[in-house]
Structure 1
Amino acid sequence: MPAELPVDPPAEPPVGETEDEPHYIGHRDRLRRRFLNRGSDALEDYELLEMVLFAVSAQRDVKPLAKALIRTFGDLWGVVNAPPERLRGLKAEGVSLGTDNAVATVRIVGAAALRAMQKRVIDRPVLASWQALLDYCAAAMAHEPTEQFRLLFLDRKNILIADEVQQRGTVDHTPVYPREVVKRALELAASSVILVHNHPSGDPTPSRADIEMTKEIVRAANAVGLTIHDHLIIGKGGRHTSFKAQRLL
């Protein structure tokens, strides 16, 4: 008869853990207390994400999933704005975001933050809140996987009265129609417009097509007395290009 393999003795539970109460239950309480007593700066990005994921799994340790999500999407903002189909497919140590409820739990954080940032710039003078406007555009567009063309409409006092996505394109091109830009501005009684689009590559350097398209929009706008205040290209890592600052407008 073959020799029997030795049987390892039962592993000792980690300090503070019993069979009825895994160690990560205490971990959750500690995270909550640290957040409430010391604020978000006391937590790493993955720990903040862990707290969001507590609602996804009441029993399993979600730290590995939180870390895997940040590795996959680059940072916390990338996670909460990631495409639903990509979130559903990620799994770490038996825990996943496989359900619509779990995916919505993560994405609602990004949606709420973006809505709050939009409220900081809408109905306010653009020039007095320019950095807030740049922050909002970066948050809304920097992580988009395809190009998006956004129009910011201003009144005579340079107050932002509307923020609309006019077109969505491919990874390196968005079809833009100058007549549609002008038409929408007239419908809103706007006096000027800020053009904004993103470069999914992360490099905000204007292409030849970007420059020519901007010239066409400016010509169409001038014909009806509409001012194109600027054209912003949003990259990644906080980078952007202003056509006005680069004297391309």
Structure 2
Amino acid sequence: MKEIGGLGREAMVELLYDGSGMLMERTIGLEGDAVSVRGRYRPLLQRVFEADAAGFVLVHNHPSGDPRPSAADLAATRRLAALAGALEVEFYDHLIVGGRSVVSMRQAGFMPGTGKRSAA
């Protein structure tokens, strides 16, 4: 997601997938839009249902260049994972881009079901 890695403000990309893992839709939102990493989850979940997607990946940047998840990122990811699970939608991953580096919250063990860790 190199197009958001060097931005001076926070952006979020939503990737929606069908049941066979094919990308169906990609939405990019900037800070201040209805799309927000720590904002309301309803618009994202509404897009998931409107597209009849099986699941999604979130990608957002840290303008500071440090891709490590903040405490707010971790809390938002946990809340969204709980909502997605209750609605039977797969939340595959939450990627954070900082400059040219990327942290996969799933790979790092921060996603529910992958082991509990605290913010670095």
TM-score between both structures, scaled by the size of structure 1: 0.42
Residue ranges of structure 2 left out of the alignment (5+ in a row): 112-120
Q: 1:151 aligns with which of 3, 6, 14?
A: 14
| Identity percentage of aligned residues | 30
Counterpart residue type for residue 110 of structure 2: L
Residues 179 and 220 in structure 1, CA contact (< 8 A), matched pair in contact too = no
- Coordinate RMSD, CA, aligned: 1.5
When you count helix as a share of all residues, which structure comes out higher?
1
Counterpart residue type for residue 201 of structure 1: S
Measure, in 1, the Cα distance between the counterparts of 2:30 and 2:94. Answer: 15
Counterpart in 2 of 1:245? 107
- The alpha-carbon deviation at position 245 of structure 1 amounts to 0.5
Residues 181 and 217 in structure 1, CA contact (< 8 A), matched pair in contact too = no
- Distance of aligned partners of 1:166 and 1:184 in 2 relative to their CA distance in 1, 3 Å threshold: farther
Deviations 1:31-51 (A, max 9, x none): xxxxxxxxxxxxxxxxxxxxx
- The alpha-carbon deviation at position 213 of structure 1 amounts to 0.5
TM-score between both structures, scaled by the size of structure 2: 0.84
Larger radius of gyration between Structure 1 and Structure 2: 1
Counterpart in 1 of 2:117? none
Deviations 1:101-126 (A, max 9, x none): xxxxxxxxxxxxxxxxxxxxxxxxxx
Residues 155 and 189 in structure 1, CA contact (< 8 A), matched pair in contact too = yes
Q: 2:23 aligns with which of 149, 160, 181?
A: 160
